[in-house]
Structure 1
Amino acid sequence: MSTTRHLVNRRRRLATTAARTATAPAGEPTAERPGTDRPGHEAELPPPGTEPGDGPEPDGTAPAAAEDTGTGERTADATDTTDATDTADATDTPSGKGSPSARTRRLPVILCLLTVLLGGFAAYAATQASSLRDDPATRNTALTDIARTSEVKGAATQAVEAVFSYDFADPEALDRAVRTHLTGEAVRQHTTMLAAVRDQGPKQKLLLTTTVTESGVERIDGDRARVLVYADQSNTRTAPAKSGDKAAEDERTYAAAMLAVDLVRTDGTWRIANLDTLGAGS
């Protein structure tokens, strides 16, 4: 801006000087500059060969150097104006990166990519859900249904205590327990395991009592379950009196038992369908 102002002032001074020279009569002295008729004016005037405004700018910086193009305009001004015009044109060009038309063309592509990604994620989620449903650990209700787990434990405890207890005075109680709590293969297994008890019970006045001390549900899958049972057994026998004795002697023994039972739910009741002594004898 300071360079442009300097050019304008210089043109005005040149035009004024030329007009005065053309109109002044021949032989008439040229008008002196104001202030040259007082002492010390040399200190106030600019050096010869310079014009007012050629000196440093008010802020202390030298005027920018520029060549005259011959038309009175400096190259620096023309360059600055051209650069500013080109920059404005490039910013306003509709085909620029930030133009609405470019964003409109990219929108369908972005939507297609999102659709593909969402479809792939949905397929992956469906596959993972199916694999989880097929996993036996996921189908195990014992891990999630506390009420059903408690029901199975109670049924297993009641059944084991009933079918493994015997009273010589009421042998029919054992038969009723078998009909109530056993089904399928478990009936045959129980008959084999307690054959000796049934045979010797009346003779020895046997009293067998089984008490479950601990149990744990291994799994529940629909209407089937498997329970691990720990129990204590007490056997009481009345031995025949020896010669010279007035009364018979009672023999009492204790033992621990561990077995796994498989239960099935039929007609709303849990029954033992299989007895597994885990390798122990009867």
Structure 2
Amino acid sequence: MTTDTDTAEAEVEAPPAAKRRVPRHRLVLAAAVIVALAAGGLLAFTEKQRGASPSANRALVDAEATAKAVGDVSNALVKVLSYQHGDVAATEKAAAQLLEGKAAGQYRALYGQVKAQAPAQRLTLTTRVVRAGVTRLSGDTAHLLVFLDQVSTRNGKPAGGTAAAQLAITARLRDGQWRITEIRSS
């Protein structure tokens, strides 16, 4: 038979683990991993529904081609999503070489604002690819999921915190180089 004192002692002896807080960066990392796993699971499910065999996805079997796609696309994103207020033309030139199709049109529409405002506001944007992975690679087309961090400065001083972004990228292999053909926020 349990008494009120037994219950009170059990409550007092409960481990303090339930009261511990998980650091914010671990929660963000856990959320990113969950999203990536869910995206991978959804991709696998849709491919199975379409009858495509996993072996048709070269991202699963061709490490060299997958690494090349990740490297080329990551380098391209850093070049076209970073700019210095004193030389916005360099970023525009990189975009003309690294973007095609829908991505090139999207970029031109958005970059017009940057060209007009960055020099006057003395803004610089630095982009860093945190993680990138190929979700599907077949023929000359690659689909990637890319996580970015961007930091802006004004006159060399921080102009805000780090902004994170998640992009779904489609790229095509042309002349041995992966070029971005579509950029979607995820």
TM-score by length of 1: 0.46
| Counterpart selection for 2:139 from 222, 228, 248 | 222
Paired letter, 2:97: T
Structure 1 distance, partners of 2:100, 2:58, is 23
1:174 matched to 2:91? The reply is: yes
Match of 2:174 in 1: 266
Match of 2:159 in 1: 252
Task: Summarize the alignment of residues 7-18 of structure 1 with structure 2, pairs less than 5 Å apart.
Answer: none
TM-superposed deviation, 1:199 = 1.8
TM-superposed deviation, 1:135 = 2.0
| Counterpart selection for 1:199 from 116, 119, 126 | 116
1:276 matched to 2:184? The reply is: yes
Structure 2 distance, partners of 1:150, 1:211, is 17
**1:145-197 deviations in whole A, cap 9, x for unaligned?**
11111111101110110100011111111112112210111111112333332
Structure 1 distance, partners of 2:102, 2:172, is 12
TM-superposed deviation, 1:229 = 0.5
Match of 1:188 in 2: 105
TM-score by length of 2: 0.68
The structure with the largest alpha-carbon Rg is 1
Q: Report 1 or 2 for greater relative contact order, CA contacts < 8 Å, sequence distance ≥ 6.
A: 2
| Counterpart selection for 1:156 from 55, 67, 73 | 73
TM-superposed deviation, 1:138 = 2.4
Matched residue count: 135
Paired letter, 2:181: A
Spell out structure 1 runs of 4+ moving beyond 6 A: none
Tell me which protein shows more strand as a share of its residues. 2
Paired letter, 1:211: R
Paired letter, 2:173: R
Structure 2 distance, partners of 1:151, 1:251, is 33
Structure 1 distance, partners of 2:142, 2:74, is 13
Structure 2: tracts of 5 or more residues without a match:
1-50
Structure 2 distance, partners of 1:136, 1:161, is 33
Q: Secondary structure at the match of 1:166?
A: coil
**Contact 2:147–2:166 (Cα < 8 Å) also in 1:** yes
CA RMSD of aligned residues (A): 1.6
Structure 1: tracts of 5 or more residues without a match:
1-133, 239-248
Tell me which protein shows more helix as a share of its residues. 2
**1:116-163 deviations in whole A, cap 9, x for unaligned?**
xxxxxxxxxxxxxxxxxx725321000001111111110111011010
**Contact 2:55–2:61 (Cα < 8 Å) also in 1:** no
C-alpha distance 205-136 of structure 1, shift in aligned 2 (>3 A) = farther
Paired letter, 1:196: Q
Structure 2 distance, partners of 1:236, 1:223, is 37
